[in-house]
């Protein structure tokens, strides 16, 4: 009775809000603002800038909490059956984040040394923000899925991690004897993400 009453009293929101999309955007914004604040603090930037970034990060966090609650309690909240389709819809997001991570690493390596101050810190922190974004998407799949999808994600994660370790070790052995450059550790994440995505596609089709 209480649940029915709460549903009846809930407000209908715009589909973008009811689906939780806006809440997810606010969460990404909070992560970026917090990283910028942390680097500005570490670089010893002007306290006015540090205060603005800190206040902005706190505001984004509070807005995310509010929007997430409203999305979950909306009368027209999206409540689809939690199947493997949810995982498939998040894969493009993860792929884009991995590509942006690789680009951000290259940009930070090539351009950050010639910069200084906040711009340098922001450019160096960009790969970390994208890495955090991929992690948020990964956790989102796990939390917002049913037991079947969680099982598939566990299998895909194990396969991705195993393939990454084998590939990195194999390259290390070849590089040791052939005089090739070592595999940079900053690219272990995109390597795992690629193997994990491929494994997720295979596992999803296998159990679908």
- Inter-residue contact 82 to 145 (CB < 8 Å): yes
* Buried b or exposed e, range 11-20, using 16+ CB within 10 angstroms: eebeeebbbb
What sections of the chain are H helices per DSSP? 2-9, 15-18, 21-42, 47-73, 84-111, 117-143, 147-178, 188-207
What is d(CA 205, CA 208) in angstroms, rounded to the nearest whole number?
5
Asked whether residue 28 falls in the same domain as residue 105, the answer is no
Per-residue model confidence (pLDDT) at position 166: 92
- Domains of the chain: total: 2
Asked whether residue 205 falls in the same domain as residue 140, the answer is yes
Segments forming the whole domain that contains residue 180 = 82-208
Return averaged pLDDT per consecutive 10 residues of the chain, 208 residues in all: 47 75 79 73 74 87 82 66 56 76 80 76 82 82 75 87 91 84 81 84 71
Per-residue model confidence (pLDDT) at position 208: 57
Last residue of a domain, one of 79, 100, 123: 79
């Amino acid at each position: 009775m209480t649940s029915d009453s709460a549903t009846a009293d809930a407000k209908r929101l715009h589909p973008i809000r009811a689906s939780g999309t806006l809440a997810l955007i606010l969460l990404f914004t909070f992560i970026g603002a917090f990283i910028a604040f942390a680097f500005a603090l570490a670089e010893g930037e002007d306290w006015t800038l540090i205060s603005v970034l800190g206040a902005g990060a706190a505001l984004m966090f509070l807005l995310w909490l509010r929007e997430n609650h409203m999305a979950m309690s909306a009368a027209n909240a999206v409540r689809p059956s939690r199947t493997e389709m949810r995982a498939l819809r998040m894969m493009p997001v993860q792929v884009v984040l991995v590509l942006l991570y690789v680009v951000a690493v290259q940009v930070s390596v090539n351009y950050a040394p010639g910069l200084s101050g906040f711009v340098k810190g922001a450019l160096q922190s960009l790969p970390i923000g994208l890495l955090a974004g991929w992690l948020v998407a990964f956790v989102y799949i796990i939390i917002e899925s049913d037991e079947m999808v969680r099982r598939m994600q566990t299998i895909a994660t194990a396969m991705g991690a195993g393939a990454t370790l084998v590939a990195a070790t194999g390259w290390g052995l070849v590089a040791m004897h052939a005089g090739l450059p070592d595999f940079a550790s900053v690219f272990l994440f995109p390597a795992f993400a690629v193997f994990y995505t491929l494994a997720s596609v295979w596992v999803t089709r296998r159990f679908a």
